[in-house]
Structure 1
Amino acid sequence: MPKIAGITMIFLIFTLVFFFNPTAAFSFNIPEKFEYELTWTGVKAGTATLEIARTGNDVKIISTAQSAKWVSVFYTVDNRVETILAKQSSLIFLGEPVNYRLRIREGKHRRDKEVIFNSGNKVTYIDHINKEKHSFDVPSLIFDPLSSFYYLRTLKLVVGEPVYITTFDSKKVWNVEVQVLRKEKVTLPTGTVETILIKPLMKSEGIFYKKGDIYIWLTDDEKRIPVKLQTKVAIGSINALLVGGRY
C-alpha cells in the first residue's frame, strides 16, 4: 500500500497566493469547519478537517489529518497545520499572516517548521527538529500555504483562464500556476452540487513528502466550498470527500 502522506498534501496544496485584487470579498462564514473522509482506492484511510475561527482580533486557520486505526497499525499519520492572521491592513480580506506552524508525523517521517512574518518584508523560517533558523526577504504581500487558500476562495475563477500565484514555502518564494479546468457535478452525502475543478501546478518541492497531481473541486457559487480533493499516489489515488462540518 502506498504511503498516505497525501492526506496532508491535499490541504497543503493550497499555496494559492494572489496579489491584491480590489474586487475580492469573502462570502464564507466565520466560524467555518469542513470535515472530510479520506479514502484510498475506495477504502477509508482516515479523516481530515479544515477550520477557520476568530480569536479576539485575529483569525486562526487549522488543518488536521489523521490515519484510520487500521492504517495506523503500520503507518501513522497525525498532522496539524495552523496559521494566524492579524488585521494589519484594510486592503487584506481577513488579515495578513503573522505565524505559520506545521507539524507532520507520517510513519517515521517528522517535520516541525514555523514561519514568522516580520515587518519590513521579511520572514523568519525555523526548523524545530533540525534546529535551523533563517531570515528571508519576501514581497510586501505574501501568504503561507494554508491562509492563501482562503484568499483564493474570494476570487473569480473562469474556466480556461489559469491563475498565477505567489507564496513563501520551503525557504523560497514560489510562483504557482493554478489551472481552472472545467465545471463538474459532485455527489455528496447531502446531494449533488455544481463545482469548478482546479489543478494547482506545484513547483515547491519541499511542501510534500510525496508528489502527484492534485485536483480540487470547489462549489460553483460565492462560497467556493472545497467539497472534494484528490491526489495521485504510487498506486491509485487518495480522495477527500466533504461529509460534515458547519458552513
Structure 2
Amino acid sequence: MLLSFPAASPAFSVPERLVFDLTWTGVKAGTAVLEVVDEKETVRVISTANSARWVSLFYLVDDRVETVLTRGKSAIFIGQPRSYRLKIREGRHRRDKEIIFDQVRHTALFIDHLGKDSDRKEHPVHENVFDPLSVLYYVRTMKLEVGKSAYVDIFDSKKLWNVEIQVLRKEKISTILGEVNAIVIKPLMKSEGIFNRKGEVLIWLTDDPKRIPVRMQTKVAVGAVTATLVGGIY
C-alpha cells in the first residue's frame, strides 16, 4: 500500500530537460541528462549518464534509463508506468533489465536481458506503484515537510519496495538559477535506478512549485559523485 503525503499537481514542465555536470572529488567526470518528452498519450522520461573522455580511458560509464507513463491513468500523478528499461555499463559492470507493467491486471513482468531465457517472471503489484526513475518525478509533486518521512512503493528487480524518503532540512545554495532555497531529501533506495549505489543519496530540490533537482549526490567506494544542474529547459 502506498503511503505518502498528498500529491499536488505536476510540479515539472512537459517537456523538460535538465543537464548536469558530474563531478568526483571536485573534478568533472561526466555529464548526465534528465528529460521528459511529451508523446501525446504517453510521457517518456529518459535518464542518461556518460563519463568524460579522460575517465572513459579506465572506467567507462554509459547508462540509459527510460520509463514510459500512460497519461490519464493515475489519480495521483501525471501517468502510470507502462514500461521501464535500464541499460548500464559502468566499468566491467553491465545490466540490462526491463519491467512491463499491466495496469489492468495489476502485474509487472520483470525481464533480465542478460540473464537466462527463463529469467522472465510476472509479479503482482497494486495501482500506485512506480519504477525507480518515475518515482523521482512523483516525489517532486509531493508535500514535503522537514523532519517527516514520506513512503512510496517501487517495483524493481523482482521485488516491491516500500521506500522511505527522508526530508532532512532546508538550506540556501548557489546554483545556475542563482541563490535558491532548497529542500534536501534522502531517499533510502534499496534497488538499482537513477543512482546505482548502496551508499547515501542526497537530492536538493528547489523550494518552489517546480521542485527542480539542482543538485544530487551519491557516495561511492572512494569519495562521492555530485550532479550539479548546469542548463536545460525548465
User: What runs of 5+ residues in structure 1 fail to find an aligned partner?
Assistant: 1-16
SS in 2 for 1:52: strand
Cα RMSD for the two superposed structures:
1.8
User: Counterpart of 1:242?
Assistant: 229
- The answer to whether the Cα contact below 8 Å between 1:195 and 1:217 also exists between their aligned partners in 2 is yes
Superposition TM-score, scaled by structure 1 size: 0.88
Where do 1:89-168 residues align within 5 Å?
89=73, 91-118=75-102, 119-130=104-115, 131=117, 132-168=119-155
Superposition TM-score, scaled by structure 2 size: 0.92
Q: Which has the higher contact order (CA 8 A, sep 6+)?
A: 1
**Counterparts in 2 of 1:23 and 1:64: CA distance versus 1, 3 Å:** closer
**By how many angstroms is 1:141 displaced?**
1.8
- The amino acid of 1:166's aligned partner reads D
- The amino acid of 1:124's aligned partner reads L
Q: Which of 203, 206, 226 is 1:219 aligned to? A: 206
User: Counterpart of 2:40?
Assistant: 56
Please tell me whether residue 34 in structure 1 is matched to residue 21 in structure 2.
no
User: What runs of 5+ residues in structure 2 fail to find an aligned partner?
Assistant: none
- The answer to whether the Cα contact below 8 Å between 1:66 and 1:78 also exists between their aligned partners in 2 is yes
User: Counterpart of 2:215?
Assistant: 228
Where do 1:80-91 residues align within 5 Å?
80-89=64-73, 91=75
Q: Residues 188-212 of structure 1: CA distance to partner in whole angstroms, max 9, x if unpaired?
A: 23421110001112233x5565421
- The answer to whether the Cα contact below 8 Å between 2:35 and 2:47 also exists between their aligned partners in 1 is yes
Q: Measure, in 1, the Cα distance between the counterparts of 2:77 and 2:202.
A: 25
**Counterparts in 2 of 1:108 and 1:211: CA distance versus 1, 3 Å:** same
SS in 1 for 2:55: helix
**By how many angstroms is 1:234 displaced?**
1.9
Q: Measure, in 2, the Cα distance between the counterparts of 1:163 and 1:64.
A: 27
Deviates more, 1:64-73 or 1:120-129: 120-129
